[in-house]
Amino acid sequence: MKTQRLHIREADGQEVKDICGFAIDLINPEFAGSKKISLATIFVDPHKSSKPHCHEVTEEIYYFIRGHGKVIVEDQAFNVGPGSAVYIPLRKLHQVINTSSTRLKFISADAPPFDPKDIFYRKLRRIVKTK
């Protein structure tokens, strides 16, 4: 039986390529045995962005720790920085954009746990609001 890791430090994780840039998985079914949620630290390099995408079965919450940027959810754009949180509902097209010269860092909580097969790419419509 595989040992569940109930505690992990970001410094002990491995940074891997991710849809938004780079990720360190912290809690997920493989490491911790979680069934309904996963948690990762995400990094977006300066002046880079994720491709617009959506998820059919995964809701996400992003909590920003470092840097400044913009999160687009469908037709709304939100300016984000340390202390900002953004909820990404099911099937809503979204994109993260780093508008700063430092690496953007945020935590992504996904329910159910993130699955790369649940990424669907589409083009964003014109942005109508910035909040």
| pLDDT for position 122 | 76
pLDDT tens digit sequence for 48-106: 999 999 999 999 999 999 999 999 999 999 999 999 999 999 999 999 999 999 999 99
**Which residues are registered as beta bridge partners of 22?**
17, 43
Residue 125's pLDDT band (cuts 50, 70, 90): low
| C-alpha distance from residue 122 to each of 15, 51, 52, 111, 114 (Å) | 26, 9, 6, 21, 19
Residue type, 54: C
* Structure-token match 């491709």, residue found: 51
Give the least confident one: 5-14, 32-41, 48-57.
5-14
| pLDDT for position 8 | 81
Q: Shortest CA distance to 126 belongs to which of 77, 62, 70?
A: 77
Q: Read off the pTM.
A: 0.89
Q: Which domains does the chain have, with CATH numbers?
A: 14-130 (2.60.120.10)
| pLDDT for position 130 | 54
With beta carbons less than 8 A apart as the criterion, state whether 75 and 127 touch.
Answer: yes
